[in-house]
Chains A and B, each alone.
Chain A
Amino acid sequence: MAEKEYAYFSGCSLEGTAKEYDESLRVVMKALGVNLVEPDDWSCCGSTPAHTVDHVFAAALAARNLCLVEKMNKEVLTTPCPSCLMAFKKAQYNMSRDDAFKGEVNELLDEAYNCGVESKSSLQIIYEDIGLDAIAARVTHIMPDLKVAPYYGCILSRPPEIAQFDDPENPVSMDKVLTAAGIDVRDFAFKMECCGAAFGVPKQEMVNRLSAKVLEMALDAGANCIAVACPLCQQNLDLRQEQVNKTMGSNFNIPIIYFTQLMGLAYGFSPKELGMDKVIVSADKITRRITKEEYAKIKEEEAAAKKPQKAKKEAAAEETNN
C-alpha cells in the first residue's frame, strides 16, 4: 500500500478529555499506511465561542492554522474534531469567495493566508481516500456481541454546501466504515440529532435531556454501543451519562466509543493502546474478540448444523405434500 500523508490537526479536546480519540486514530491511521504530520505550534481553532464575537475574528483564529499548513506545502488538512473542521471549512469557504472578507481576515494575521488548504474530517479520509476494501483487508478480529448505533452528530455533513461530504440528512460513511471493519451496525434514526453541543457546562439539564433522547433511540435500534466521531458528543453522552440518569430518572449504561477505537479493536490492537480504559461507561462486556478465522469456523459449523435440519424439514414437507 502506498503511503499517504496529511497535515493533522488534533485540536484541543484531543489533548484532554478526548485523548483516546487521538490515540486510537493515530494507531488506526498507521495500520492503514497513513502518515499524519502535525503543524508546528498550532493554536485553538476558535470553535463555537469565537463566532459569537465576530465572523472575521473567528476566521482569523482558524486561518492562523491553515497558514501553518500552507507553509508545510500540504494541500489537505485532516482533523477528527467536527468543531475544528467547521471552523476551518467556514474560514476557507468565506475567504475564498469574498476578497473583502479575506482582506479583513488577513489584516488580523501576521502572515496572510492564501486559501490553499482543503480541510477534511478524518472520517472522510478513512472512507474516501483509504476506502472500504483496504479497511476490510486489515481486520483480524470479530466482536460477536457488539451492536453499534453510528452517531455522526450535527455538523459532519452539514450544511452541505460547506461540508461537501456524505448526505446532510442520512449520512452513511461511518455505517459503511464500521461494517467493512466487520462490525454489526444498526439503523439509527437519531444519527444526526443534536446531543446538546457546547452547552454542557452552562445548561446542564437541557443537555442531559437532549442526550437522553439519543441514548434511548440507540437502545430502540437494538444497539448496545454508540459509535461517535466528535469529542463533544462523546463527552455529553459518556461523561454525563450518570447525570442524564439523575436528571431523567433513567438507567442508561451504554458505552460511547470513538469509531476509531472500534476499528482498532477489529484490527487486533490492545484496548490499552486504543485508550479503552479512558471512557467512563466500560465497553469490556460487549467487546469480546475472537479471531476472524475462529469466527469463520463457528459460522461454518453453524451452517453445517443447520443443513441436516433443513434437509429433514424438506423431507417432512415433501411427505406432507404426498
Chain B
Amino acid sequence: MDTINLSEKTDWAFIEEVKKESGQNPSLCYQCGNCTAGCPYTQYFDYPVSVIMRLLQSGQKETILTSKAIWLCATCETCTTRCPCEVDVTHIMDTLRIMARREGKVSEKDIQLFYDSFLDSMKKHGRIFEMGILMGYKFKSGHLMGDAELGPKVMSRGKISLFPKTIKGADKVAQIFNRFQEKAKKHG
C-alpha cells in the first residue's frame, strides 16, 4: 500500500473552500469506510474515497487535486446514499473535480478531453452530436483507433448520424457558456 505523505502542512483555506463550495462538512466523516466498501471504482482509484475524505480533513490540497480518484468517480451516488453521517460524498468529489479543473491540475487528461469534447459539441449545436464528440476526442487525445470497431455496428443500424443537427436556439445555449465564462473571469 502507498504511504501517504502528510508532511504537507494542513491547508485550512482549502478545507474552508471545499466546505463553502460543496455546502458539506467533511469533519462529520468518522472513517467507517462504508463509502469505499460500496464504491464500484475503488480498485481503479489511487486513493479510496474514504481516504480522500481523510486527506480532505487534514487539508492535503495537492494530493487530492492531483489524484486520479476524483476523475474516475462516476457520480454513481452510492457513497452519498450509504454515508451514515449523511455527508454528500458524491457532491464533495464533484466539487474537488471542479477545483482541480480550475487550478489546471487534472490528472486524467483523457477524461477531461472527452468531457470537453462533449461540451464543445453542446455549445456549437445546442444538442449532442455523438459522432462529432467522438471525432473531436480522437483528434485531441491522439487515440485515433479507439472504438473503431464500434463504428460499423452503430452505422449499419442507423443509430448514429454523420451530420449534426443544430437547434434553433443554439445561440441561446452558447450564451449560457459565454455568460458563465465571463463571470468566471471576473471572479478569477
Tell me if chain B binds chain A: yes
Report A's interface with B, CB cutoff 8 A. Answer: 12-13, 15-19, 41-44, 46-57, 60-61, 64, 107-110, 154-155, 158-160, 168-169, 192-194, 196-204, 206, 210, 239-240, 242-243, 277-278, 280
Give the distance in Å from the alpha carbon of A154 to the alpha carbon of B73 in the complex. Answer: 12
Contact B157 A278 (CB under 8 A): yes
In the complex, B146 has a CB within 8 A of chain A: yes
A158 touching B78 in the complex, CB below 8 Å, given contacts A15-B165, A61-B173, A204-B147? yes
Main secondary structure on B side of the interface with A:
helix
Residues from chain A with a CB closer than 8 A to the CB of B28 are none
Contact A199 B111 (CB under 8 A): yes
In the complex, B32 has a CB within 8 A of chain A: no
Give the distance in Å from the alpha carbon of A197 to the alpha carbon of B176 in the complex. Answer: 26
A15 touching B127 in the complex, CB below 8 Å, given contacts A44-B122, A155-B77, A201-B137? yes
Contact B161 A155 (CB under 8 A): no
Q: Which residue of A lies closest to B184 (CB)?
A: A54
Least CB distance, A109 to chain B, in whole angstroms: 7
Contact A154 B179 (CB under 8 A): no
In the complex, B119 has a CB within 8 A of chain A: yes
Contact A12 B169 (CB under 8 A): no
Q: Which residue of A lies closest to B133 (CB)?
A: A201
Contact A110 B160 (CB under 8 A): no
Return the 7 tightest CB-CB contacts between A and B, nearest first.
A49-B115, A154-B76, A12-B128, A197-B74, A202-B110, A194-B40, A158-B77
A57 touching B180 in the complex, CB below 8 Å, given contacts A194-B41, A201-B146? yes
Q: How many residues of B contact A (CB 8 A)?
A: 61
Give the distance in Å from the alpha carbon of A4 to the alpha carbon of B153 in the complex. Answer: 37
Q: Per a CB cutoff under 8 Å, which of A48, A154, A198 touches B77?
A: A154
Report B's interface with A, CB cutoff 8 A. Answer: 40-41, 44, 72, 74-78, 80-81, 88, 90, 94-95, 97-98, 101, 108, 110-116, 118-119, 122, 126-128, 130, 134, 137, 141, 146-147, 149-150, 153-154, 157-161, 165, 167-170, 172-173, 175-177, 179-180, 183-184
Give the distance in Å from the alpha carbon of A159 to the alpha carbon of B166 in the complex. Answer: 33
Contact B176 A52 (CB under 8 A): no
Contact B128 A199 (CB under 8 A): no
Least CB distance, A173 to chain B, in whole angstroms: 17
Contact B76 A197 (CB under 8 A): yes
Least CB distance, B177 to chain A, in whole angstroms: 8
Contact B180 A54 (CB under 8 A): yes
Extra contacts besides A168-B81, A194-B78, A198-B74 (12): CB < 8 Å: A12-B130, A42-B127, A49-B118, A52-B94, A55-B98, A61-B176, A159-B88, A159-B90, A202-B108, A204-B147, A239-B150, A243-B149
Q: Which residue of A lies closest to B121 (CB)?
A: A44
Least CB distance, A59 to chain B, in whole angstroms: 10
Contact A19 B88 (CB under 8 A): no
Least CB distance, B52 to chain A, in whole angstroms: 16
Contact A53 B77 (CB under 8 A): no
Residues from chain A with a CB closer than 8 A to the CB of B118 are 47, 49
Q: Which residue of A lies closest to B134 (CB)?
A: A201
A49 touching B116 in the complex, CB below 8 Å, given contacts A44-B128, A204-B147, A239-B153? yes
Q: Per a CB cutoff under 8 Å, which of A49, A159, A197 touches B119?
A: A49
Least CB distance, B44 to chain A, in whole angstroms: 6
Residues from chain B with a CB closer than 8 A to the CB of A201 are 114, 134, 137, 146-147
Contact B74 A196 (CB under 8 A): yes
Residues from chain B with a CB closer than 8 A to the CB of A280 are 153, 157
Residues from chain B with a CB closer than 8 A to the CB of A160 are 81
